[in-house]
Amino acid sequence: MSAPVIELSGARKTYHTGDIEFEALRGIDCRIFPGEYVAIVGPSGSGKSTLMNILGCLDVLTSGRYVLAGEDVSQMDEVALASARNRRIGFVFQQFHLLASLTAVGNVELPLVYAGIPPAERRERAMVALERVGLGDKSRNHPGQLSGGQQQRVAIARALVTEPAIVLADEPTGNLDSHSTRDVLGMLDDLHAEGSTIVLITHESDVAARAGTVYNVTDGQFVGAGTGIAK
């Protein structure tokens, strides 16, 4: 097998709120390989989003090691982390997080803007990504002119446009109706089939059931770690 995209060893994260310390991650070890579709399930407050922030280079570990696509990111500074997020990670958030002032294609272009790609190439790649999620005809619409499911698909296109090492989706269907949920999950299935590496975070086990590998988190630890559930 090829080298892992993600390699976490002894990952711990402690939050400090005033004098109170809270250990949100208590020693997690995990390896995710290219092309894998991994779901992380657990009850609310178990540490899923904390883990997602670490995996997405939005935050750093208190102790332990995190290697992303061969780069040790555990001790990176803000500037290096920003660059790692830009090049390696595609985010899909529960609240979509699209900028209302930009069109669909403008939103999809945004990661390429921070990568310093020239406008013509940017536009072309963003259009390709939008067509991949089936929204080629809505490229000039603003988020307010799109349904929830369509907005989340724009967000998926934005996550794909940089061809990241990994797509991180935190409760991507949490704000969607059942029709749009099926739509978005089907989209992730397609991406997986086309070879993308996906980490899906959810508290719903039926959503997790679509993934090749499911990790159950409880109190900041994996329980019954890494057992694959048949598709």
Partner 1 sequence: MRPADLLASSWRAIRSHKMRSALTMLGIVVGIASVVLTVGLGLGTQKDVSEQIAALGSDLLIVSPGSSTDESGMRGGFGSGETLTLTDAEALASEVAVPDAGDVAPEKTASLSLEYGESNWTTDVTGTTTSWTEVRSRDLLYGSFFTADDAEAGASVIVLGAETAQELFGTTSVVGQEVTIDGEALEVVGVLAEAGSSGETSLDDLAVVPMTTMVEQLDDSGNSESVDTIYVKAASSDSLSAASQETTSLLLNLHGLASADDADFTVEVQDSLLDAATSVYEKLTVLLTGIAALALLVGGIGVMNIMLVSVTERTREIGLRKALGAAPANIRNQFLIEAMILGLSGGAVGVIIGVGLALALPSVLGSTIVVSGLALVVSVVVAVGIGAVFGVYPAARAARLAPIDALRDQ
Ligand X SMILES: Nc1ncnc2c1ncn2[C@@H]1O[C@H](COP(=O)(O)OP(=O)(O)O)[C@@H](O)[C@H]1O
State the residues that interact with Mg ion by CB under 5 A: 49
Q: Choosing among partner 1, ligand X, Mg ion, none, which partner's interface includes residue 10 (Cβ < 5 to 8 Å by kind)?
A: none
Residue 56 makes contact with partner 1 by CB under 8 A: yes
Residue 44 makes contact with ligand X by CB under 6 A: yes
Q: Choosing among ligand X, partner 1, Mg ion, none, which partner's interface includes residue 86 (Cβ < 5 to 8 Å by kind)?
A: partner 1
Residue selected from 37, 66, 91, 215 as contacting partner 1 according to rule CB under 8 A: 91
Alpha helices, H only, the chain: 48-55, 78-88, 104-114, 119-132, 148-160, 178-193, 205-208
Residue 192 makes contact with ligand X by CB under 6 A: no
3-state DSSP assignment of residue 90? strand
CB of 62 to Mg ion, least distance (A): 19
Tokens for 136, please give them. 């080629």
Q: Choosing among ligand X, partner 1, Mg ion, none, which partner's interface includes residue 147 (Cβ < 5 to 8 Å by kind)?
A: none
3-state percent helix, strand, coil for the chain, nearest multiple of 5 = 35, 25, 35
Nearest Cα neighbor of 47 from 35, 65, 68, 61 is 61
CB-neighbour burial class of residue 195 (10 A; exposed 0-12, middle 13-18, buried 19+):
exposed
Q: Hey, which residues does 7 pair with through a beta bridge?
A: 31, 67
CB of 219 to ligand X, least distance (A): 9
CB of 95 to partner 1, least distance (A): 8
Q: Which residue is nearest to Mg ion (CB)?
A: 49
Residue 93 makes contact with partner 1 by CB under 8 A: yes
Residue 22 makes contact with ligand X by CB under 6 A: yes
185-214 footprint of partner 1 as x/- string (CB under 8 A):
------------------------------
Beta-carbon contacts of 13 under 8 Å, excluding residues fewer than 6 positions away, are: 23, 24, 25, 47, 50, 54, 59, 61, 62, 220
Q: Choosing among Mg ion, ligand X, partner 1, none, which partner's interface includes residue 59 (Cβ < 5 to 8 Å by kind)?
A: partner 1
- The number of CA neighbours under 13 Å toward the Cβ of 42 is 25
Nearest-angstrom CA–CA distance, 104 and 143:
6
3-state DSSP assignment of residue 85? helix
Residue 128 makes contact with partner 1 by CB under 8 A: no
Residues that bind partner 1 (CB under 8 A): 53, 56, 58-59, 78-79, 82-83, 85-87, 91, 93, 97, 99, 101-102, 110-111, 113-116, 118-119, 158
